[in-house]
Structure formats: C-alpha cells, structure tokens
Structure 1
Amino acid sequence: MKVPFPTQEFDPSLLRAEEALREMLAHVPALRIESINDVSALDDWKPNLVVRITVKDQTHLLICVLKPSGQPRYARGALLELRRHVARHPPGATPVFIAPYISPAVRQLCSEEHASYLDLQGNTRIAFDGVFIERIVADKPQAEQRELKSLFRPKSAQVLRAMLREPGRAWRVSELADMSGVSLGHVSNVRNGLLDREWARTSDDGLVLCAPAALLDAWRDSYTAPAGEQLRFYTPLHGSALEDAARDALRAPDASGHAAFASFSAAQWLAPYGRTGTHYFYADETGLRTLQTALKLAPAAAGENVSILVPKDPALLADTIEPALGAVCTSPVQTWLDLSIAGERGVEAADHLRQEKLPWSR
C-alpha cells in the first residue's frame, strides 16, 4: 500500500515513477511489494520513494531519488544523495536513480556507483539479493533528441566552434559571445547544455571543455549536411592547373566574396588521405561567381567534377583556416564533420584527420 502525505504537492512524475517501479518489479513472481511510500517531505533528507519488498521472507528496501533530468550532472548529484541516504539504513537497502531518460553513459555511471536505475522510457537495471531485472529500450525520447540537436544548431554551433579552436582555454560568457557573434543568452544556454552533460566544467577563469572527444562524438552522431543550395559543375581544368586557379580565386579580396575548400578537398590540405574525382567548396553568392569564372565552370546534370554548397549559415565561411597561401579550407572540425557523413571513404578520411589535426579529441 501507499502511505499518503497530505502536505506533499501532487507530482505526476512521481506517480509515473511509482507505476514504472510496480510494473518492473511485477516481473519477479517471488517478490512481493509491501509498500511504496512517498517520503519527499520528511525531515531534511530527500529520497522521493522508499519501496519495501519481501523476497523469500527477507525484507529489502529500494531507496529512490527522482530527478527532472537524467543528464550526467544531475545523475552525479543524485547518486551522491543516494549514497548518503542508503548509509542511514541497515544492510538490505538498494539505491535507485530515476529520471525521465537515462543515457547509456549515465547507466554506466550508475553501475560504477553500484546503484540501480529506472527511467520513464523503460530502461531499467534493478539488482539486489539475487534479484536482477534489466531492460534496454533502443530509442531516445523525442524531447531528448530535440534538446541534443538544439546544441548543434547553427547559432549554438558558432559557440562550439569558437571553443574547439582553443579546446584548453577557459572562457567567460561575454568572451564567447564576442568571439562567436551570438547573444549572451544563447551562449548561456550552450554553457548549461555542456555542463549538464559534463562536457565542460567551470573554473575560476571561466568555462573549460573537459570532454571534447565526447562532444565531438555527439555532434557527429547528430550531424546532417548544412542547409543550402548544392550546385554541381564540370571544369575542364585538372591537376595543378585547377589547384592554382582555385587558390588564386580563394585568396582574392573580400570584395570577391568568400569561398573555401571543403570536405575531401579541404582534407587534402589538412591531412591528405585519398583523392577523389570531385572537388568540393563552400561559397557565398559572390564567391560562387568568382569560382565559376576562375575554374571555367559549366552546370552539369551528370559527370560533374566540382560540387559547391552555398550554405544558409554564413558562419561556416567564417570558420576557415589557410594552411598554405590561398588554400582557404573549412576548419578541421567542420571538415571532419562533413567527411563523417560522406560514406565509407569519408569515414576513413575523417578518422585520419581526427588523428592528425584533432589529437585532443581522441
């Protein structure tokens, strides 16, 4: 039975957590639930539910903490609370972390802390006294996917690119806003997203990336080709003639627009791995016209050997480097992202680029 606490505000998430616990525990026929008590309002300690169960005439307690988010920062705090609460009970109490969604990384963290877990999507691992219940649900909830994708949308990505150019630097929010050209509020949102996932930490000097590899992996997994107009052309130029003409065009004054080698073509300058028959560029409208003239481009419905993206996000053309005179390339991070979705050869080139130019991300 449930012991009511009239002074406690009704929490629908708590009710869902209780229902999920009952459903999971029902899978063990030898287990009997004696009571599920809401103890959130008791004294100065904050477990949300205490479940008293009997297995083979032995009583056991599940001490449960429910958090509104299963992100690592919240999980770590919850596990610390649970460790403290369980220490107040005699042997036979098991800590259980509950959240709307618990990622594989946080599930691993729970295992390392010898805690059970349950989320409201159905992922569960509850283990004690010979009882073992485990269930893994493949799909992420849509809200979780939306929240993660929002961290890599164009405005947020400008902040991330600034940080990844100097991955060991400590940043003030105002510095990041100035460097990335986005609002203080947007930088603060990105900051919170990084801290929640423990991809960054705060120091006396500001915000510092502490898990750039995990950040890049998540970005890759969420990455899709930039929005914009994809144009295909044929050029009669080949080899060094094409390369020289492109470099002359790319180092032209700003009045001629902006353009850069991209994808496989950028990788040839940054970390050569393997040539392709197509040359890739990003360009704005003016840069596009400059490339059309310099490379003698003709539209091609088939048999193209030049691919130019005119991106909707102008920040992509600001995130460039010039490893050789005129060889303006998308940054190592952007080039790596583009290669990562360019098929099997692209993945191999991306791995090589990461090893050569992003050693801090391994």
Structure 2
Amino acid sequence: MLKHQSLILSAHKAINDCLNNVPFVNVLRSETSPTDSGPDYILHIDTPLGRKAIYAEISANGQPRFARILIDKVRLLSDDSKTYWIFVAPFISEKTGKMLRSSGIGFVDLAGNCFISFSGLHIQKEGKKNPYLSRRQFNSLFKVKASRVLRVLLSDPSLHWKIAPLAKEAHVSVGHAYNVKEELLNREWAVVDNRGMKLSEPEILLHEWCNNYQLEDYRRASFYSLLEASRLEKHLEESCSALGVRYALSGFAGAARLAPFVRYHRVHCYVENNVNDLVKSLDLKLVTSGENVILINPPDDGVFYDTRRVDGVWMVSPIQVYLDLKVSSDRGEEAADFIYKEVIEPQWKRTKLQVTARE
C-alpha cells in the first residue's frame, strides 16, 4: 500500500487530472482543512453555475468499511450546497462506488476511476482494474488456513462468534481468525456487535470463494473400478474403516445424498492418508481417461469440517460439495446451483428463523 505522504500527493494529482479534463472547470486553489474533523484538503473550483468547494477525504483503503466512515460523517454535517464531498483511495471497488453514489458522495481513485456529480458537472470514468492488488492479497481470504474460518462461518451464518472460540473451532491461531474477521468487516460481508461477529453477506462470500477456489495444490489421481458406484462406496467404507483412513465423498457422490435424484457414475472422494494401501484394497486401476473413481488427498484437513454420515458412508459438508461441483465438469455448475437453492439456502433460512425466535 502507498505511504501516507505519497498517497496524499497522488490523491491530489488524481483529482486534478480528473477535473482538468473538463474544459469549463477551473481549479482555483487547494488548501488543507483548518480543523482535524474536516476533510484532508479542499479544492475550490469554478463552474458555469458558480463556485464549489470539493472536500476530499483520503484513505489508504477503499474497501466499503472505510467509505462507510465518510458516509456517516457527511450525514452528521449540515447540508451545504456550496460543498461536495469525495472519497479518494488507491482503488474504489464497484460496491464501494455504488455506496458512495447513493449517498451523494463522489470518488476518485489512483487507478483512474472517478465519479463527481453535482449541479452543472458530471464526470464518470469506471472500469479500471486495481493495479495495487497483488495475487497474494486477492486470494488471502481464500487461502487454506483462512478457508478453515470460512467453513465455520458458512456452516451457520446466523451464529455470532467471538474470536477465541472461532479460532478454536476452526483450528487456527487467534491472530489468523482476527485477520479473517477484519477482512470480512472491511468488505462489509460481516457485522460485529457485543455478541461477536456474524456474516451479513454469506451468499456473496460463498460466490467469491467459488471464483477463487483452486484445486492445484490438491493431490488427486484417477482410477477405474469394475464395481458400480454404490457397491464401490460400500467397499470404500469398509476398507477405510479397516485401514483407519479418514475419508469423505464429495462432488456428485456427495450431491446425490443431499438431493437423491442427482445421478452420477463417478465417485469423488477425499482421502487423508494411506492412499496406496486403499488403492490396493479396492483393487483400483490407475488410468488417464475413462475414470470412475477420483481420490483426492487435500493439503489441509479443513475439507473434513462438518462431515456427516449418510446412507452408511461419510460425506463432506454441503458447502464443500457446492465448491467442488462448481469447479467440476459434467454439468457440475448446474448441480452446484441446485444444491445451493435446495439445500444450503433453505438451511440458512431455517437456522436464521430459529435464532430470531430465540431472541
């Protein structure tokens, strides 16, 4: 992220660049705010309809949470037709921009996006991507350790969590749980009160996780079995029990247990250890095509959170089934959407009603 002084200079330049592109607008002068409670600086401009003072609030973070601070601040101030507030940050997301526009506040970012609109002037440039966001930052909320926390939160979005119990439940450090909480709050996907934090936008969180869900680090192998799916799964359960191997079905095999009319011929299964012994026990043949068994050895045991036993075998949580279907072929995305609408969303609504009734 840009250093503070560098950010102020860059913000000043970005605003001037935005205004200088309009031939009938003259920037008269700029000055710092005379009070600590005021904006970071003020630009005085001349338009065909008269003079206007643009109050610029500069932030190193353009996430909705920080824009909300300015929105609340402006609401407390008396209405002044001669002033116009703008929010300036390295990058303004679509959600943040929408919030600001609906509150009558403009914005300018260092990527080239801007929105300044009042009587006599309308400037709008959007669609520029964030040049300051590294791949590491973009994926940080969906990395392996962080995803442990997401699984806990998404299993029941109606629950409030204090940091220590959340960290214990997710098997991560308190510091890691805190970082996830802060990122969720910054994006306004969660809220916090005296009871703790809870998700406010579980649907958006799950959607963004899907967009960033990757299986490259998962060791997986494809096999062929002469047994049909139901017999193979029964044999799988017996072999894993005998070998002491933790396993859980996912993909279409998991979906079929959540929505019984889902048809499948390929068994996807997470296996924690002893994969070679399990392959021998099941008499599986390693193949490069035509597989009907896929064994996946995950880099982290978070995939086993909230597993359940259905029809005599273990399966992953509905959230994990949804994620795996979303990135699979063979109409996986269609099946994932069905699982969300028929299983996950109704479950969230039921638990929310139960919590509301208790309150």
Give the TM-score, by structure 1 length.
0.88
Whether 1:78 and 2:88 are equivalent positions in the alignment is no
Per-residue deviation, residues 225-248 of structure 1 (Å, max 9, x unmatched) = 251212011101114322332343
Per-residue deviation, residues 252-299 of structure 1 (Å, max 9, x unmatched) = 26x52111112222111123464344221111222x246424532111
Question: 3-state DSSP class of the match of 2:142?
Answer: coil
Q: Which residue of 2 aligns with 1:62?
A: 54
Give the Cα separation in 2 of the matches to 1:57 and 1:293: 82
What is the aligned counterpart of 1:120 among 94, 110, 128? 110
- Residue 361 of structure 1 and its aligned partner are, at CA, apart by 6.3
Per-residue deviation, residues 299-324 of structure 1 (Å, max 9, x unmatched) = 11222221111111122234422233
Whether 1:324 and 2:311 are equivalent positions in the alignment is yes
Give the Cα separation in 2 of the matches to 1:70 and 1:10: 14
Whether 1:186 and 2:176 are equivalent positions in the alignment is yes
Whether 1:53 and 2:53 are equivalent positions in the alignment is no
- Contact 2:47-2:120 within 8 A present in 1 as well: no
Give the TM-score, by structure 2 length.
0.89
Give the Cα separation in 2 of the matches to 1:164 and 1:331: 10
Per-residue deviation, residues 148-202 of structure 1 (Å, max 9, x unmatched) = 4111111111111112222211111111121111111111111111111122122
- Residue 91 of structure 1 and its aligned partner are, at CA, apart by 1.4
What is the aligned counterpart of 2:23 among 18, 29, 40? 29
Question: 3-state DSSP class of the match of 1:194?
Answer: helix
What is the aligned counterpart of 1:139 among 129, 132, 138? 129
Query: Tell me, which stretches of 5 or more residues in structure 2 are unaligned?
Result: 350-359
Give the Cα separation in 1 of the matches to 2:258 and 2:125: 44
- Residue 353 of structure 1 and its aligned partner are, at CA, apart by 0.7
What is the aligned counterpart of 1:347 among 333, 344, 354? 333
What is the aligned counterpart of 2:251 among 252, 257, 263? 263
What is the aligned counterpart of 1:216 among 186, 206, 213? 206
Q: Which residue of 2 aligns with 1:18?
A: 12
- Residue 104 of structure 1 and its aligned partner are, at CA, apart by 0.8
Change (3 A) 1:226 1:180: farther
Give the total of aligned pairs: 346
- Contact 1:83-1:95 within 8 A present in 2 as well: no
Q: Which runs of 4+ in 1 moved over 6 A?
A: none
Q: Which residue of 1 aligns with 2:120?
A: 130
Give the Cα separation in 1 of the matches to 2:203 and 2:89: 25
Question: 3-state DSSP class of the match of 1:117?
Answer: strand
Q: Which residue of 2 aligns with 1:4?
A: none
- Residue 53 of structure 1 and its aligned partner are, at CA, apart by 0.9
Question: 3-state DSSP class of the match of 1:167?
Answer: coil
- Contact 2:97-2:107 within 8 A present in 1 as well: yes
| Cα root mean square deviation, aligned | 2.3
What is the identity, as a one-letter code, of the residue corresponding to 1:278?
Answer: R
